[in-house]
Amino acid sequence: TEKKNANWEVSHNNKQVLLRTAELNKVLDTFGFNKKDYENGEEEFLESFLHQPD
């Protein structure tokens, strides 16, 4: 059952990633961003997003 559990964990993690990506895409679309804005990585993206001038 150990292998079965490991497989479940991998598929569960993949689902989490997919869900997170779908949520992220919704947020990006809402704010008029697209994936390219996000490709530099989450932290840089959030930094630039949070520190935009008004």
What residue ranges do the domains of the chain occupy? 2-50
Determine whether 39 is exposed, middle or buried from the number of CB atoms within 10 Å of its CB (0-12, 13-18, 19+): exposed
Please tell me the distance from the alpha carbon of residue 37 to that of residue 52, in angstroms, as a whole number: 14
Backbone CA torsion sign across 41, 49, 28, 26: positive
Q: Count Cα atoms within 13 angstroms, Cβ side, for 32.
A: 0
**Radius of gyration for the chain, computed over Cα atoms and rounded to the nearest angstrom:** 16
**Chain segment 8-53, per-residue pLDDT in tens:** 787 877 777 777 888 877 887 777 665 665 565 666 766 776 776 6
Q: pLDDT value at position 52?
A: 64
